[in-house]
Amino acid sequence: MDRILIKDLLVRCIVGVNEDERTEKQDVVINIALTTDLRPAGTSDRFTDAVDYRAIKKRVYAMVEESRFFLVEALAEQIAAICLEDPRVQQVQVSVEKPTALRFARSVGVEITRTRDG
């Protein structure tokens, strides 16, 4: 299968368990890989045959910006669910990183893979 990559989407949101994380928005960096068959769009060159990754990005961005999760794991699950709403997306890989979460580390994050059939 083929993949569509959305790399380094930067969003500010409330995520975390510490008191300051519950009141101050912080940066999260999101990477998404959508597994789909790109042949229909590749051969027809028609937008209607393509996964609308711009629309997916907008839905993800809006949800994350308004979210108030305690765990990045829960945030990643919700992002994956949004991506799988498009019936052409068979699998999604999502990584969510918090660049300022750990002192002396560039970032900390999670990566999950979810499929349409569970």
The catalytic residues are 98
Q: Which helix (H) or strand (E) holds 15?
A: strand 2-15
| CA distances (Å), origin 43, targets 1, 33, 77 | 15, 21, 33
User: Phi then psi for 116, rounded to 5 degrees?
Assistant: -60, -40
For residue 72, what is the enclosing H or E element? Answer: helix 72-83
Question: Any idea what DSSP says for residue 64?
Answer: H
* Element at 55 (helix H, strand E): helix 53-66
